[in-house]
Chain A
């Protein structure tokens, strides 16, 4: 079965950096787009980034563009999120998620059929 396990969360000061990792198993990792979605405490879901199956295409929400970098290592079946210039409002649980099966002739679906348990990132002085 699909398993996604995030790591790397923790407490960081404003302006600091953190790198999240997501270890994937149970599916052909290199065949799927992957995404990061976050959830601030007591709030709703915010999609923040995706990366194509090869890693050649990446997209970011405006709220993190220029500060966060998504990457993947298909040989290690791992997804990463490098977070720089962190702000207090980046405090959230960060979920990695697997793209669902794409429709015919498309390379991604944009919905997420498997999610990790999440990694808590707290930005505070």
Chain B
């Protein structure tokens, strides 16, 4: 199975500042035949289901504010939130959708400092 490891486990950032969440896969999730990276990011607020933020590592889902960005290649990925807003408080998960069983990172809890 592909193991997804996120860092840090929790993060406190001041309003208006930048938050950076990292995700590392135990093997590459780049599909060479179509050059797509099979990595997704989700946001989960308390009491709610996860919400898709990015897929193919950097394709923003419709409706996601552009202060959110996804990047990375091969095995190392980053979710960046610029100008943190109060509504961004949540747990963020990465997921590889390259090979079954699809696996998620353990989650990163983002709070306001």
Known: A44-B93, A45-B93. A112 touches B52 (CB 8 A): yes
Chain B hits for A112, CB < 8 A: 40, 50, 52
Contact with A along B36-59 (1 / 0, CB 8 A): 101010101000111110011000
Of B10-18, B19-27, B76-84, B101-109, which binds chain A? B101-109
Contact present for A47 and B98 (CB under 8 Å): no
Interface size, A (range): 20 to 34
Chain B hits for A27, CB < 8 A: none
Contact present for A113 and B103 (CB under 8 Å): no
Kindly provide the distance from the CB of B37 to the nearest chain A CB, expressed in whole angstroms. 11
Closest to B95 in A: A111
Chain B hits for A80, CB < 8 A: none
Pick the residue among B38, B49, B56 that contacts A117 (CB under 8 A): B49
B97 in contact (CB, < 8 A): yes
Contact present for B106 and A44 (CB under 8 Å): yes
Chain A hits for B48, CB < 8 A: 117
Chain B hits for A118, CB < 8 A: 49
A118 to B52, CA, bound (A): 16
Interface residues, chain B, CB within 8 Å of chain A?
Answer: 34, 36, 38, 40, 42, 44, 48-52, 55-56, 61, 93, 95, 97-98, 100-107
Interface residues, chain A, CB within 8 Å of chain B?
Answer: 35, 37, 44-47, 50, 59, 61-62, 95, 100, 103-105, 109-118
Residue contacts A-B, CB under 8 angstroms, 26 given: A37-B50, A44-B104, A44-B105, A44-B107, A45-B44, A45-B50, A45-B93, A46-B104, A47-B95, A47-B102, A50-B100, A59-B100, A95-B50, A100-B55, A103-B34, A110-B102, A111-B38, A111-B52, A112-B50, A112-B52, A113-B52, A113-B61, A114-B52, A115-B50, A117-B49, A118-B49
